[in-house]
Structure 1
Amino acid sequence: MVGRDGHDTVDGVDGQDRGEAGPFGQPLFRDAQARALARVGVVDVGSNSVRLVVFDGAARSPAYFYNEKIMCGLGAGMRETGRLNPEGRARALRALRRFAALAEGMEATPLTVAATAAVRDAADGPEFCAEVARETGLELRVIDGREEARLSAQGVLLGWPGAYGLVSDIGGSSMELAEIADGRVGKRLSSELGPLKLADLPGGRKGRQAHVRKVVERLAKELGPQHNRLFLVGGSWRAIARIDMHRRAYPLRVLHEYRMDRKSVAETVRFIETSDPETLRAACGISSSRMALVPVAADVLHRLVKTFRPRDIALSSYGIREGLLYERMPQRLRDRDPLIEACLFSEAKDARIPGSGRRLYDFVAPLFRNVPDARRRLVKAACLLHDVSWRAHPDYRAETCFDNATRGNLGGLKHSERVYLGLALMHRYRNKRAGSPFEHLFGLLPEADRAEAEVLGKAMRFGAMLWISDDDDRPVEMRWFPKKKVLELRLSEAAVPLYGEVAEARFRALCAALGAEGCVRERSARR
């Protein structure tokens, strides 16, 4: 099951996991239906950009095998002409020729190609679609605004299966809104609040702000109260989030799951108004064409937040392209936890002993018996990833683990959870974290959670030394007595030789992290 916060709420994910060890049922990427999604190519023909994404890897939480974007500006000037921008149209056609050839070479065909506001609204949109089909063999699927909203919302659900709130997807020529709850998309609306269209409005900024206010108030009336989370999808929203990070000197530059609040948005809008655009563009790594639209998009976001008053705001790097992938997934794959599925895939691909994560989880689980389900989920993920970075140089293995966890393409992780996972994996390979080049990120996690991540890491560091053959079901076992502050280690006769000097030192380090007394017992052979 998946909770409303996007995290699993019970150990078993679905029926096929019952009878398996905890959450580690047969991963679905080994299923034939999932393998059919192993490499999927999607093209998004938007009003501002044309992008190819090829997904590869664990089907539930796919990796970006290839990602290329070309800023074409198809929708520039459409308010006056009613037609696609001629230069943008030529650039888009060249991009699509290239993408079709790339997809053939990557064995990512047939491509799914979706065209949004510019193509659907332009008088020459059908003519452009016919030209694309003739020149490239690609069939453009022109989607209306409500369908665009649905697909973007499905992209959010790809990363947060239990997400609930309002999704706002801003493109060059339109902005879509969609409700999500209980894994489903609800009401959907589309508007012409794309920055390319708004930039051409008469009356300057005051005229634009008045128009934006009128449209947002109409959208709010149609949707009703929306005070839960606001999910932001689209390049202009991501650019504003980068500026917010810059203004706050935020240490982790991962946009997915980055959080803002209403006050932060208001302060960033003022910051954009008072900053030199070129200086801001260079500092935040934003393209010139995107930066030109940021002040317009900022006015829209400011009004959106002021009107709907969401309890918090989250950036989603997943949108329409991921929504198209989600469309092709069987429901039982959608129901899987994207984090656990991705970790299972990584272990199967990179661990020295695939499957050892399951046994390690059983070993450390007594230390985390009373933690919330959301935290237990991270314990599972850490155990699955504990051995996937063994190829890194020993001197850098701990940093490699932390970097992979905090910056990797893992869905359904808050930034604080990324740091928790990174610290646990760092302590899997290193006793202390002082002097790490990532110390500036540790503050994203409360001190008590840092201590808990250290305990998990040291438990994995110790447990990874003790495995023997699968013939003995539980050669080693820990029992934790938190009230007495006693950690008991039980060893079978076969496991006693494994408890050497280094293993003993690691057990004592774990006890120290727990503030506990250690006790080692030897079990007699089974009769």
Structure 2
Amino acid sequence: MSQRYGIIDIGSNSIRLVIYEKTEHGAHRVVDGSKRSARLSSKINERGELSQEGINVLIETLKVYQLLAKQHQLDALVPLATAAIRNAGNQAEIVEQVKQATGLAIRVLTGREEAEYGFLGMINSLSVQSGFLLDIGGGSSELTLFLNRKIVHTFSFPFGCVSFNKRFDSKNGLSDVDLDALKSEVLQAMSDHEWITRYAHLPLIAVGGTARALGKIHQAATDYPFSQTHNYPLASQSVLELFHELRLLPQDKRKKIAGLSKDRVDVIIPGFAILTTVFQYIQATHYIICGAGLRDGVFHKLFFPEQPLQQNPLDYSVENIIALHTAIPHAHTKHISQLADQLLSCLMQHDSSKEIFRVYLNTAARLYRIGATIEYYHYEKHTFYLIVHSHLNGLTHKEILLVASIASFRSKGKAKAELKDYGQLISNEELDTIFRLGYVLQLAAALDRSETQSIQQMELKLEQDKLIISVTAAQTDLELESHKVKEIATDFKKQWGIKPVLQLNHL
């Protein structure tokens, strides 16, 4: 039986509801969500308290979210608050008013808890071993050092893009004087933590609204062909140029920047200023934009308590996709992934590229029939689309395209046509990789054309221009398999220079 959970993230800039579903097959997905740009940190008065206006906005928003929760018949609704309420002098009064008006008991996260949840959301979605994680919120920002996928140090800055914008008004751009003052405050906060300077030359993973906006603006400016900002790498110089271009623009002109949403026009400059200052101080190698964060971490921690941290994000996301598409013939795809791996090991036994190619091929083999859950006829094109638009965590955008093209491979011409809009990411060398691995997957699928997993043992031998495939099978013949191998043999030889020949050994 499926279960649904709602997480309300009461941030300093926005209040978000995300509704997750855990299916009866163990998969999870987001099924609904809502966002309100409440700007609670801008409603803090001179006494450091959230004004009654701000409390009323919060209560009104939570009541709307309760209506959505009722519609989805949630098993649990979890409201969490970060810096705006955490730092408010009237925190207890806010929590009590919300309780009285809505019945919801807000859990106020500490800065460390916020950082830990953000780290968990990020680390479960990226195949990165070590680095710095920076989450720029509206009223606070968390910097975390992780090594070998474990948190080593973390601390919370008492400022964010909204609170800084309140002090360093960037309506007409950010002056050199204000930029220097802002940077000085960020640098002073970091100088209190001597461990930061001991770990230079690591990537800076950026999460949160500022990070996502950076990715969208840069992608729009460069006509980037891929539709995700998650796991989007950026070079230091590109970000600096974009920041200095934006900080000179008044707000009315900023509204016209492609990729920048209306609710972030006024706070994007202080957010970028924090991001670039931290990057330079820690001497990071490059930026990585991460689309997962606090809410995802909370979901994993609360609803997968037995194993909230995943050591292999790619395997985890592939298993999740498979569990979401129950019509995939799992026994068949698992069998051909094993056959494909064995074929590749023989064909590339002395090639250093073999290990990463095994990852691409295994992922493609396990997902190659996903398109048939939409329609069997022409399922390959649906497979390509679904893989490109699924969360294949742990792969770069280029690698997702490679996997999608291998999984949907029919012929060289069709693969080229499918990738014509992605020329910025796919080179001729990568096209050749797609062709080679695509034919290996075709051969593996041919060896289980009957989808009965009859082959119990397979031995491979290279003889001059032939690949001898000697198999032991449960069936007395492999007529379907033999026919299919012969059908693709000519094209396979054109790509690999050897012709596959199937030989059956009887039990």
Residues 468-499 of structure 1, C-alpha deviation per residue, up to 9 Å, x if partnerless? 47573437x47364x95643334557444114
Cα distance change, pair 118–513 in 1 and its aligned pair in 2 (3 A): same
Counterpart residue type for residue 411 of structure 1: N
| SS of residue matched to 1:450 | helix
Out of 294, 302, 325, the residue aligned to residue 276 of structure 2 is: 302
Out of 338, 363, 383, the residue aligned to residue 362 of structure 1 is: 338
- Alpha-carbon contact 2:332-2:453 (below 8 Å) kept: no
User: Does residue 525 in structure 1 map to residue 491 in structure 2?
Assistant: no
- Alpha-carbon contact 1:351-1:387 (below 8 Å) kept: no
Q: Where do 1:10-159 residues align within 5 Å?
A: 39-57=4-22, 62-78=28-44, 80=46, 82-84=48-50, 86-159=52-125
**CA shift for structure 1 position 508:** 2.6
Cα distance change, pair 375–180 in 1 and its aligned pair in 2 (3 A): farther
Out of 208, 211, 224, the residue aligned to residue 196 of structure 2 is: 224
Counterpart residue type for residue 146 of structure 1: R
Match of 1:4?
none
**CA shift for structure 1 position 511:** 2.7
**CA shift for structure 1 position 336:** 4.8
Out of 208, 214, 219, the residue aligned to residue 245 of structure 1 is: 219
**CA shift for structure 1 position 296:** 1.7
Out of 464, 472, 479, the residue aligned to residue 497 of structure 1 is: 479
- Alpha-carbon contact 1:339-1:411 (below 8 Å) kept: yes
Cα distance change, pair 184–269 in 1 and its aligned pair in 2 (3 A): same
| SS of residue matched to 2:384 | helix
User: Does residue 404 in structure 1 map to residue 386 in structure 2?
Assistant: yes
- Alpha-carbon contact 2:7-2:17 (below 8 Å) kept: yes
Supply the distance in 1 between the matched residues of 2:374 and 2:335 (Cα, whole angstroms): 23
| SS of residue matched to 1:111 | strand
| SS of residue matched to 1:82 | coil
Supply the distance in 2 between the matched residues of 1:141 and 1:263 (Cα, whole angstroms): 40
User: Does residue 290 in structure 1 map to residue 264 in structure 2?
Assistant: yes
**CA shift for structure 1 position 171:** 0.8
- Alpha-carbon contact 2:84-2:139 (below 8 Å) kept: yes
**CA shift for structure 1 position 445:** 3.7
Supply the distance in 1 between the matched residues of 2:145 and 2:72 (Cα, whole angstroms): 35
Supply the distance in 1 between the matched residues of 2:403 and 2:501 (Cα, whole angstroms): 29
Out of 407, 420, 427, the residue aligned to residue 402 of structure 2 is: 420
Counterpart residue type for residue 205 of structure 2: F
| SS of residue matched to 2:456 | coil
- Alpha-carbon contact 1:154-1:185 (below 8 Å) kept: no
Residues 260-312 of structure 1, C-alpha deviation per residue, up to 9 Å, x if partnerless? 12111112113323567556545534332212111221222221222222112
**CA shift for structure 1 position 61:** 7.6
Supply the distance in 1 between the matched residues of 2:335 and 2:394 (Cα, whole angstroms): 24
User: Does residue 209 in structure 1 map to residue 209 in structure 2?
Assistant: no
Please identify, of 145-154 and 260-269, the stretch whose mean Cα deviation from structure 2 is larger.
Answer: 145-154
User: Does residue 439 in structure 1 map to residue 449 in structure 2?
Assistant: no
| SS of residue matched to 2:133 | strand
Supply the distance in 2 between the matched residues of 1:220 and 1:372 (Cα, whole angstroms): 43
Cα distance change, pair 439–117 in 1 and its aligned pair in 2 (3 A): same
Number of residue pairs the alignment of both structures matches: 487
- Alpha-carbon contact 1:72-1:89 (below 8 Å) kept: no
Supply the distance in 2 between the matched residues of 1:316 and 1:189 (Cα, whole angstroms): 19
Counterpart residue type for residue 188 of structure 1: T
Structure 2 residue ranges without an equivalent (≥5): none
**CA shift for structure 1 position 166:** 0.8
Identity of aligned residues (%): 20
Counterpart residue type for residue 76 of structure 1: S
User: Does residue 198 in structure 1 map to residue 158 in structure 2?
Assistant: no
Cα distance change, pair 471–128 in 1 and its aligned pair in 2 (3 A): closer
Supply the distance in 2 between the matched residues of 1:314 and 1:353 (Cα, whole angstroms): 35
| SS of residue matched to 2:129 | coil
- Alpha-carbon contact 1:84-1:119 (below 8 Å) kept: yes
Supply the distance in 2 between the matched residues of 1:97 and 1:396 (Cα, whole angstroms): 46
Supply the distance in 2 between the matched residues of 1:415 and 1:471 (Cα, whole angstroms): 33
| SS of residue matched to 2:8 | strand
Match of 1:3?
none
Residues 213-260 of structure 1, C-alpha deviation per residue, up to 9 Å, x if partnerless? 223323443142242111101112211221111222222131110001
Q: Where do 1:330-409 residues align within 5 Å?
A: 330=305, 332=307, 334-348=309-323, 349-369=325-345, 370=349, 371=353, 373-393=355-375, 397-409=379-391
Supply the distance in 2 between the matched residues of 1:463 and 1:278 (Cα, whole angstroms): 58
Supply the distance in 2 between the matched residues of 1:173 and 1:254 (Cα, whole angstroms): 27
Output the TM-score relative to the length of structure 1: 0.83
Cα distance change, pair 434–146 in 1 and its aligned pair in 2 (3 A): closer
Cα distance change, pair 399–283 in 1 and its aligned pair in 2 (3 A): farther
Counterpart residue type for residue 147 of structure 2: A
| SS of residue matched to 2:265 | helix
Supply the distance in 2 between the matched residues of 1:207 and 1:346 (Cα, whole angstroms): 50
- Alpha-carbon contact 2:217-2:259 (below 8 Å) kept: no
Output the TM-score relative to the length of structure 2: 0.86
Counterpart residue type for residue 224 of structure 1: I
- Alpha-carbon contact 2:19-2:31 (below 8 Å) kept: yes
Match of 1:323?
297
Match of 1:29?
none
Supply the distance in 2 between the matched residues of 1:351 and 1:420 (Cα, whole angstroms): 24
- Alpha-carbon contact 2:332-2:451 (below 8 Å) kept: no
Supply the distance in 2 between the matched residues of 1:265 and 1:162 (Cα, whole angstroms): 21
